[in-house]
Amino acid sequence: MADRFRLDGRRALVTGANTGIGQAIALGLAEAGAHVLAAGRSSCAETLALIADAGGGAEEFRLDLSDPATGAERLGAAGDLDILVNNAGIIRRKDSAEFSEADWDAVMDVNLKAVFLLCRGFGRAAIARGARGRIVNIASLLSFQGGIRVPSYTAAKHGVAGLTKVLANEWTGRGINVNAVAPGYVATANTAALRDDPVRSREILDRIPAGRWGDPSDIAGAVTFLCTPAADYVSGAVLNVDGGWLAR
């Protein structure tokens, strides 16, 4: 049974792997035996060092998804892949009545269009060579809820959940399992402003049954599981990892 939780011999690409949740996912996959391509538009040197210290194998793969089509074209340079984790994302906060078209487009390009194009490229390549594969997209609590002052982020993350399901419908029977993980409130740079606001931070913690902010490693564990043979019969799922937030 233990072997069903291993990823030895698999090659995995993780976008946004330079910090936070993406860094933790890259490390988790490497600890399970995968060779990881740590992808980002900035240096992933810290991630590579963490993986090396853990005895894993990894390499850097520069990938700028601000231009989704150009970024997706780079996928071919990664070689044959068994696993794709679409983690890279950005956020813009402003009242919806004042939200600019430029901010809308920037978030949708990285958080949804790039996710589709990378999935499409991965799927095409895996199907062409008759290989099995795993895709895990990083969704959000805002794949289920509306949020406040983040219209493009909310729309994109709803889209990620829907995209995950349609690709699972089309590709699971061809050997490619497609799932998503929806993180709750995790202690990363994206949530620093919320954690630094004592009122808002307390409001958030009061709703989380676990009573704490999530750690990036909490997300990494769920993603790693979905990539292993232990999750062979899991596809089309959007797994919320939120300390119980959505249950309350």
Looking at per-residue pLDDT, the higher value among 231 and 189 belongs to 231
Q: 202 lies in a domain?
A: no
Tell me how long the chain is: 248
CA distance 133 to 199: 44
Catalytic residue among 122, 153, 213, 245: 153
Q: What is the pLDDT of residue 193?
A: 86
User: Which tens digit of pLDDT belongs to each residue from 101-160?
Assistant: 999 999 999 999 999 999 999 999 999 999 999 999 999 999 999 999 999 999 999 999
Q: 106 lies in a domain?
A: yes
Q: 206 lies in a domain?
A: no
Q: Domain of 65?
A: 2-187+215-238
SS3 of residue 186 by DSSP: strand
Q: What is the pLDDT of residue 1?
A: 66
pTM flag (> 0.75): yes
* Reported confidence tier of residue 210, pLDDT bands at 50, 70, 90: very high
Residue 89 has pLDDT above 70, yes or no: yes
Catalytic annotation on 153? yes
* Reported confidence tier of residue 248, pLDDT bands at 50, 70, 90: very high
% of the chain beyond a pLDDT of 90? 97
Q: 135 lies in a domain?
A: yes
Closest CA to 115 of 142, 140, 144, 85: 85
CA distance 84 to 246: 26
Q: 115 lies in a domain?
A: yes
User: Which tens digit of pLDDT belongs to each residue from 46-86?
Assistant: 999 999 999 999 999 999 999 999 999 999 999 999 999 99
Q: What is the pLDDT of residue 136?
A: 99
**Number of C-beta neighbours around residue 182 at 10 A:** 24
Q: 207 lies in a domain?
A: no
% of the chain beyond a pLDDT of 70? 100
* Reported confidence tier of residue 2, pLDDT bands at 50, 70, 90: confident
- Please give the angle made by the CA atoms of 57, 61 and 62, to the nearest 5 degrees: 150
Q: What is the pLDDT of residue 237?
A: 98
Looking at residues 236-247, what average pLDDT do you find?
Answer: 98
SS3 of residue 239 by DSSP: strand
SS3 of residue 9 by DSSP: coil
Q: What is the pLDDT of residue 140?
A: 98
Q: 200 lies in a domain?
A: no
Beta strands, E only, the chain: 11-15, 35-40, 57-62, 83-86, 133-138, 176-183, 238-241
Averaged pLDDT of the chain: 97
85 DSSP 8-state letter: E
Q: 248 lies in a domain?
A: no
Residue 87's domain is classified under what CATH number? 3.40.50.720
Angstrom CA distances, 71 to 77, 126, 183, stand at 11, 19, 25
Q: How many domains does the chain have?
A: 1
Q: What is the pLDDT of residue 197?
A: 93
